[in-house]
Amino acid sequence: MLLEITTTHQPTSDLGYLLHKHPDKFQSFDLSHGQVHVFYPELTEEKVKFCLLLDIDPIELVKGGRNLSGKGFALGHYVNDRIYVASSFMSVGISKTLSSALNGRCKDRPELLGVKMPFEVKISVLPAPIGGAILIQKLFEPLGYKVQLERHILDAKFESWGESKYYTLYLKNELTLQELLTHLYVLIPVLDNDKHYYVGKNEIDKLVARGGDWLQEHPERKQIAERYLFNLKSLSRQALERLIEKDGNETAEAGIVETHEEMVKRKTLHQKRLYKVVEKLLETNAESVLDLGCGEGKLLRLLLKQKQFKKITGMDVSFSELKKAKDKLYYDDMAPKQKERIQLFQGSLLYSDTRLLGYDAAAIVEVIEHLDENRLKSFERVIFEIARPKSVVITTPNGEYNALFPNLKEGAMRHSDHRFEWTRKEFQDWATAIAQKNNYTVSFEPIGEEDEQYGAPSQMGVFSYAS
């Protein structure tokens, strides 16, 4: 589904500042069930058009076990409109890519925040319940929008089948960008009629409070709040919850003033890294896995989702990180069968530990750079000589790539606790020597988008014991 936002406000470059999106760039971001692409197909001195294209992956949706539309239709789980319509996934896309604009932040040009601009919006396509056209008008007109709707027929070849429930929606209004985005963010899922779940009353109150003045004063506020929350719960609960979750413990890169785009990039890079590690571990056929330096347990959460892993162990030197991991895994509330699969304990990678013996694989993700270089020999002994899992996956930043971080001074590191950030050669030399000495083979892979000169932001070595 496609959201197009056009304005004739001048200078047209103002829109890019407000959206925190560079007009010359085509950018893509990962969602839990697909991708969102943002780009500007039109930019002249008179007019600028910004697009947000949602590309939902139907396989991921089914894999995610989403309870999809199609009740009473046996194949509804696989054959449904979710990938074509603007639903709560559109709200996820908006908040994932445009969160500064949605929250009314504009670091470079704060004076633009209050500027009302003439906007034209096109949404292709919206599903609407019975009486859809009237509902759409009732939702948008009180907010000052001129509404125009194009209803699509069910099948152009069979006109007698009549009209579908799908509309292309055109809106016109003069308002601030933040107002526009919050309206769309709330009202798009309101129109989606697919599932109904019970939602507690206080959640409705919270939305009304968060929706700001416009929602409080909207004549349809009750209907909006109820429908929004029902649909939100049903379709993208996990995705939205993950977004709303305030992730204060994200390993922020010290000393760098991050732009919103950089922050999104870093988060998606870490997700990519974790998914890649899971993929590698699955390939090794491992059934028992150690996550060493597990931090707050992001990888553990992904490992638990894979049935292949029967025994999953997280270890970290930091007690407070382990406590966070326990909370985030909802360990205390886990079903007994799940609980049996996972354990957490405090320990250090620098001291030999019998609890690390007997595992098929170990993942050590963004940890080695936290160890003093002169202690790496102990690390090597503990993992490769004593614990000796059949496979070891290690990731670490690629220091060469730092040249591409505009705010990072030459020679500085991404995180204040990093003791080193190796070049690709330094990492490969170190890893190859360890492998040779300990009877492992090792192969390397980049993680993240590769730059021709500097490589990818992160790097991975996959070791296999050559029995």
Nearer CB in complex with ligand SAH: 88/348: 348
Q: Which residues contact 339 (CB under 8 A, 6 or more apart)?
A: 331
Sign of CA dihedral 220, 225, 228, 231: negative
Least spacing, CB of residue 295 vs ligand SAH, in Å: 3
Shortest Cβ distance from residue 297 to ligand SAH (Å)?
8
Q: Tell the smallest beta-carbon distance from residue 369 to ligand SAH (Å).
A: 8
Q: Are 412 and 421 in contact (CB under 8 A)?
A: no
SS3 for 109?
A: coil
The set of residues, in sequence order, having a beta carbon less than 8 Å from that of 125 and lying 6+ positions away, is: 1, 84, 85, 86, 152, 166, 167, 168, 169
Interatomic CA distance for residues 372 and 149, integer angstroms: 63
Please provide residue 412's backbone torsions phi and psi, each rounded to the nearest 5 degrees.
-80, 165
Question: Is the CB of 105 or the CB of 301 nearer to ligand SAH?
Answer: 301
Quick one: which segment of 42-50, 231-239, 289-297, 402-410 binds ligand SAH (CB under 6 A)?
A: 289-297
Residue ranges in 298-327 that form contacts with ligand SAH under rule CB under 6 A:
298, 316-318, 321
User: Would you say 143 or 252 has its CB closer to ligand SAH?
Assistant: 252
In terms of CB distance, is 153 or 317 closer to ligand SAH?
317
Is the CB of 6 or the CB of 458 nearer to ligand SAH? 458
With CB under 6 A as the contact rule, which of the stretches 67-75, 348-356, 423-431, 446-454 interacts with ligand SAH?
348-356
Q: Which region, judged by CB under 6 A, interacts with ligand SAH, from 77-85, 89-97, 361-369, 404-412?
A: 361-369
Distance in Å, CB of 21 to ligand SAH, minimum = 28
Q: Least separation, in Å, of the C-beta of 349 and ligand SAH? A: 4
Among 132, 189, 293, 448, binds ligand SAH (CB under 6 A): 293
User: Using CB under 6 A as the criterion, what x/- string covers residues 217-236 for binding ligand SAH?
Assistant: --------------------
The mark string for 243-282 relative to ligand SAH (x by CB under 6 A, - otherwise) is --------x-------------------------------
Strand partners, 288: 311
Position 348 contacts ligand SAH (CB under 6 A): yes
Q: Per the structure block, which two tokens stand in for 6?
A: 């056009």
Contacts of 163 (CB under 8 A, 6+ apart): 151, 152, 153, 154
Q: Respond yes or no on whether the N-terminal peptide bond of residue 48 is cis (omega within 30° of 0).
A: no
Q: How far is the CB of 4 from ligand SAH (least distance, A)?
A: 37
Q: Which is nearer to ligand SAH, 142 or 446 (CB)?
A: 446
**Chosen residue from 295, 397, 455, 457 binding ligand SAH by CB under 6 A:** 295
DSSP summary character for residue 416: T
Range 156-185, binding ligand SAH (CB under 6 A): none
Smallest distance, Å, CB 277 to ligand SAH? 8
CB of 450 to ligand SAH, least distance (A): 20
Q: Which residue type does 197 have?
A: Y
Residue 214 has φ and ψ, to the nearest 5°, of -60, -35
442 contacts 462 by C-beta, under 8 angstroms: yes
Residue 78 contacts residue 157 (beta carbons within 8 Å):
no
- Three-point CA angle 131, 207, 330, nearest 5°: 115
**Which residues are bridge partners to 444 per DSSP?**
461
Residue 67 CA: distances (Å) to CA of 26, 78, 229, 418, 456:
32, 10, 16, 43, 37
The CA distance from 207 to 240, in Å, is 13
Q: For ligand SAH, which is the closer residue by CB, 15 or 363?
A: 363
Chain residue whose CB lies nearest ligand SAH: 295
Asked if 89 contacts 33 with a C-beta cutoff of 8 angstroms, the reply is yes
To ligand SAH, the closest distance from the beta carbon of 10 in angstroms equals 45
> From the list 47, 105, 272, 370, which residue makes contact with ligand SAH (rule: CB under 6 A)?
370
Q: Which of 281, 349, 361, 394 binds ligand SAH (CB under 6 A)?
A: 349
**Within 284-398, where are the H helices?**
298-304, 319-328, 336-341, 376-380
Closest CA relative to residue 446, chosen from 293, 276, 302: 276
Q: How far is the CB of 435 from ligand SAH (least distance, A)?
A: 21
Q: Which stretch binds ligand SAH (CB under 6 A): 92-100, 138-146, 179-187, 345-353?
A: 345-353
Paired tokens of 429:
């030399």
Q: Which residue, 184 or 393, has its beta carbon nearer to ligand SAH?
A: 393
Size of the site for ligand SAH (CB under 6 A): 17
3-class secondary-structure state, position 261: helix
Q: Which residues bind ligand SAH (CB under 6 A)?
A: 251, 293-295, 298, 316-318, 321, 348-350, 365-367, 370-371
